[in-house]
Amino acid sequence: MYDVIIIGAGPAGMTAALYASRSNLSVLMIERGAPGGQMNNTAEVENYPGYESILGPELAFKMYEGAIKFGVENAYGIVQNITDQGEFKEVVTEDKTYQGKTVIIATGCVHRKLGVKGEEEFAGRGVSYCAVCDGAFFRNKRLIVVGGGDSAVEEAIYLTQFASEVTIVHRRDELRAQKIIQDRAFANEKISFIWDSVVEEIKGNEMVVTGVQIRNVKTDEVTEEAAGGVFIYVGLDPLTEPFKASGITNDAGWILTNDQMETSIPGVYAVGDVREKGLRQITTAVGDGSIAGQQVFDFIETQKDAQLTK
Ligand SMILES: Cc1cc2nc3c(=O)[nH]c(=O)nc-3n(C[C@H](O)[C@H](O)[C@H](O)COP(=O)(O)OP(=O)(O)OC[C@H]3O[C@@H](n4cnc5c(N)ncnc54)[C@H](O)[C@@H]3O)c2cc1C
């Protein structure tokens, strides 16, 4: 039986592993792919303190080296579900069952795709899902932002620092974003809107995005807009299918925790992008991981004290 089983080896899971193993706990980290999570899909990270700029996979490797140096055990596996057996938890992968006194869920999320032609092809070459990460690479370019919720409008405002012009393409005739955010966008001279419209195709040359094909959903009119980049904010999907039966997710599928990363099941924690939270970044994932890594130590010590006083 492990003291801690960590599911997912992105920045949140790896930081939790570092903190828990430095407290001399036995730690198993289960990952379905390469350690690093979304950092492996990030060309350059320019907002991780201590580095002016670092390649995502390089940061992932450095974090991994640091995370395992105090004796973390690794296992490959796709976790299917967890069950609370009272004194311990069971974590089930496709071919194995592991037991742990505590579990830290760090499975992250995926950006919902538009599912249109050109999206996959130009990912990382003009198609982005993260303005905070990639905005600075689009200085003086005209950008298209797809979506009408808080993220889309907030990120469009953020992008005006770099872009010559930002056009929000939204499938309805009004935004879903909070009023105060909408007001800021309407007041921003660099932002324009294309209403009642969907992006049907992202176009480019052999190197980069050059524009989008747009269809008006009311009139069916098809037009083309030139653009140097397309930022897509049509939602994020948490990777929480294996945990839904445990009752720790909200209606949208995100895991609910308190400030100590505790879920509603004692001894089960959630960290990083998989949580219901405001800002999903490497820094916030790392912060969550450190808190949970320390919390599991306190939880196990409290359980030991309780056993002794029985
Ligand atoms: C293109 C892109 C660029 C970005 N750029 C930046 C940036 O510049 N700066 C920044 O701060 N943030 C950036 N982000 C966001 C940042 O990468 C995330 O906020 C961060 O990685 C979240 O960390 P995490 O550990 O919570 O989740 P993740 O990094 O998503 O890691 C979760 C891990 O869990 C594993 N997993 C999932 N389900 C299972 C399962 N059932 N069983 C086993 N393993 C599982 C996954 O394989 C993955 O390795 C970017 C994101 C993207 C997509």
**Partners of 73 in the beta sheet?**
28
**What tens digit of pLDDT does each residue of 79-115 get?**
999 999 988 999 999 999 999 999 999 999 988 999 9
Residue 42 has pLDDT above 80, yes or no: no
**Separation of CA 224 and ligand 1 centre (Å):** 33
Q: Is 32 in the pocket of ligand 1 (CB under 6 A)?
A: yes
Q: Is 7 in the pocket of ligand 1 (CB under 6 A)?
A: yes
- For ligand 1, atom 7, the nearest C-alpha belongs to 133
Q: Which long-range contacts (CB under 8 A, 24 or more apart) does 245-250 make?
A: 245/81, 246/81, 246/82, 246/83, 246/84, 250/276
Q: Is 79 in the pocket of ligand 1 (CB under 6 A)?
A: yes
Q: Is 30 in the pocket of ligand 1 (CB under 6 A)?
A: yes
**Separation of CA 215 and ligand 1 centre (Å):** 32
Domain ranges of the chain: 2-111+236-308, 127-232
- Do domains 2-111+236-308 and 127-232 share one topology? The answer is yes
**Which of 14, 42, 64 is the pocket-test mutation for ligand 1 (most atoms within 8 Å of CB)?**
42
In percent, how much of the chain has pLDDT > 70? Answer: 100
Q: Residue 154's pLDDT is what?
A: 86
Q: Which of 64, 57, 61, 63 is nearest to 40 (CA)?
A: 57
Q: Which of 151, 146, 149, 153 is nearest to 126 (CA)?
A: 146
**Separation of CA 13 and ligand 1 centre (Å):** 10
**Separation of CA 108 and ligand 1 centre (Å):** 5
**What tens digit of pLDDT does each residue of 123-169 get?**
989 999 888 788 999 999 999 999 998 879 988 998 999 999 999 99
- For ligand 1, atom 5, the nearest C-alpha belongs to 133
What are the φ and ψ backbone dihedral angles of 168, each rounded to 5 degrees? -90, 125
**Separation of CA 24 and ligand 1 centre (Å):** 26
Q: Which of 243, 252, 298 is nearest to 271 (CA)?
A: 243
- Architecture per CATH, 2-111+236-308: 3-Layer(bba) Sandwich (3.50)
Q: Could you give the residue numbers annotated as active site?
A: 130, 133-134
Specify whether domain 127-232 bears CATH 3.50.50.60: yes
- Which atom of ligand 1 is closest in space to residue 284's alpha carbon? 19
Q: How far apart (Å, rounded) are the C-alpha atoms in residues 101 and 302?
A: 12
Which tokens is 273 given? 């992008």
- For ligand 1, atom 37, the nearest C-alpha belongs to 107
Residue 264 has pLDDT above 80, yes or no: yes
- Which atom of ligand 1 is closest in space to residue 133's alpha carbon? 8
Give, as one character, the DSSP assignment of residue 41: G
What are the φ and ψ backbone dihedral angles of 30, each rounded to 5 degrees? -105, 130
**What tens digit of pLDDT does each residue of 196-249 get?**
999 999 999 989 999 999 999 999 999 999 999 999 999 889 999 999 999 999
